[in-house]
Chain A
């Protein structure tokens, strides 16, 4: 089967393609239950304030109002202290939106304003007001580890100790040993909004002792389990329904147990429904959606030491990441991926990474596409470009000399379980070759000093890696496959499909293993009640994590089927194969059986009515271990290279003719069109680079000034071209078919590639994103 796939590697239609194009796909907001109550919020008008008076009596007595929620009756979700403009003060649950809004007017609330910090710089200033009382604004990352004592045989680190930075070696020694040192200081990636077409929301229906929750989710089972605990319900009394997600990119992941996490829509809907035993809908408007799910904001300093020949020797990396007044603090760990721990692990002998997360009185944070990796790549890949110039080495060549290879040591990824792992495959050299050729780099690239005139072309490159394996505790995932006598099969899998194509790919795997056509594979994924546990689809992990249980469960069914067929045909199992739903004897292809004949079904009277295969993923799968040795883990990465070309108009500061070529090694493209589609979301980087993506707050009031899609623009058809190049370098051991990962990577290198392209065009380095015309003109000294 290995090299002669029938279904894998082909761009078969998406499993739910028709539902997605005919309006029948149901997103949470499409579920309608008669008598559903709606929710409206009063939100804080101040960035920091204490509620000094709250009287909801008049609102409660308005006919049609069923519940008024505040810190007084629902302290698990509402507080009397506000931490950003827009924090929920009161929720009104009523029979319709007009009554709910009328009731909001009847709430009597007064605040005592408190001093606030509205930027990362303000938050870091000495004597800055505290975002959370009694807590410093700036925290060191809790999982900094110092690694030492490399095992000579395996090359892996054997000792891991808590430290006040993450890394290995001694950077001071490393810099002393270096011939050329480059420093990039004060690089700032703006605090930007995670994209989501369908804003956050939920419909909760508590009925006859059972709570059904219709929402979006990247990990239904996990969220349901945590939610049940928070609500004091048995897990069995909650069913989480998530048919279609409406895009998420990580940003809409819920964390019901954390009051600071932007999951209030979920808790409010559930608490109200439990209280009233009626269906309650809590859906955010676009403006409310814009009050949460921010990320990326960071200040970074990078210092890299090289030998004369361009060999990278030492890296020091400092990152201060803004996380607003709460949300996801773990994203910062991924900024290390771009450093000597992983992307430049090949030659880096001394590594020091110091990570800090910083609270401000701005909007709630989340992790999305890249989960911290874009910030790290921005700093490091800009510094690499500066280094190439200083060393007099071509920017592509400098990366080629130093990037990670398959088998190199990953010293940053999973600090919980492993001291270090092996990078399972790279392919970055092949990606660089492809970019060099496609862009005609050798004939087109010129130093900025050779450029003049109003319109100046720039080419910029950056490489990247993104975490794709997550072998930590709780990351097991399961699949069930059923085969029926009519030759159809069904996959039961809760792995989230948010547009990344995972359902299609998993069904392709079932078809391939069973030897039946793809169109005969059905899928059950819609709710927790009818699916086995699946871990959260995050870290571009889906292909790595879910393929094993799908593959193993399908193989289990195949074994059972062939055993039955062997009995019917009177031959040994090993002599049988299945193709196009026909079981045949390999040496005598004319001896065949249908699946129904093998199962011997006789109406309700006899035979086998379904064959069931189930597999729960051992994480890591034994095939992810080097020579099967525990502790010697291959961990896959999403990896590649990206090239941005553009033309800067030096009179207007605008960038024109923006083109992004994204090349990634995916090991094997299980469905090439889906892979291509994943590369297209490099546009999220373009959005952050070019379109003014920034959290702009009024300095006095703390209000968000661009909290809508007119002032905070998503990319459209007109902003850039993306050219996806798929590289398939075989041999990654961590997947049953050698596929690695794709999904988040394409947004990781874009800001650095943009910065490098603009520098290449005009010879001035802009340190702060987004690269808007005002900054380009200021860099050129024109404003």
Chain B
């Protein structure tokens, strides 16, 4: 192991991982190239578009702006972790119903941002959705459909929560 390499231990979608990384590698690179979770996208590489959004703990972070080593000991959730068995998460269901994806390249990051929002605010207003998601760019400019998907997912998750609770 050279001076520019380190062992990184983290949990990705509930699975513990231990791997050798270069110290300058970004989390997006490690997720995509080393762990082969290519659902996390990289579109700008400079934190301007949100395509690489993943959850670290319950917080949305930009994987292209996060050094991989910052994830040491952390729990990272990517789009691949959202399905439960073969069932889509309510946010994914809402995305399909409301046609939240056009080309789909922004969808993984967009959906992870939506999850972070709904974890901290289960009943957002339209304005709150727009503000929380404004760092996620959709160049198909499908924003009205995405807003509808987030609001519909929020309803669904509140109802599911009420039933389970």
Contact = CB atoms under 8 A, between A and B. Distances in A.
A558 interface: no
Contacts of B105: 27, 197-198, 244, 246-247
B39 A23 contact: yes
Contact of A22 (B32, B41, B79): B79
B137 A14 contact: no
Contacts, number: 166
B100 A21 contact: yes
Given A26-B38, A708-B48, A11 B99 contact: yes
Interface residues on A, range: 35 or more
Interface stretch (A305-313, A460-468, A675-683): A675-683
Interface residues of B, number: 57
Contacts of A207: none
A708 B44 contact: yes
Interface of B is mostly: loop
Given A286-B45, A708-B44, A717 B143 contact: yes
A30 B33 CA distance: 9
A106 B41 CA distance: 32
A682 B140 CA distance: 10
Contact of B48 (A16, A29, A673, A710): A710
A489 interface: no
B141 interface: yes
A17 B101 contact: yes
Contact of B140 (A26, A676, A681, A717): A681
A709 B49 CA distance: 8
Nearest to A196: B139
Interface in A132-153: none
B62 interface: no
A247 B83 contact: no
B99 to A, nearest CB: 5
Contact of A673 (B22, B40, B145): B145
A22 B51 CA distance: 14
A198 B41 contact: yes
Contacts of A499: 101-104, 140
Given A22-B83, A32-B38, A710-B48, A680 B145 contact: yes
A80 to B, nearest CB: 31
Given A680-B141, A717-B133, A717-B147, A23 B101 contact: no
A493 to B, nearest CB: 18
A13 B103 contact: no
A197 B103 contact: yes
A677 B96 contact: no
Given A286-B45, A717-B130, A21 B140 contact: no
Contact of B44 (A14, A17, A709): A709
Interface of B: 22, 32-33, 36-46, 48-49, 51, 78-80, 82-83, 88, 92, 95-108, 111, 129-131, 133-147
Interface of A: 11, 13-14, 16-27, 29-30, 32, 98, 195-199, 244-248, 285-286, 498-501, 673-674, 676-677, 680-684, 708-710, 714-718, 721-722, 724
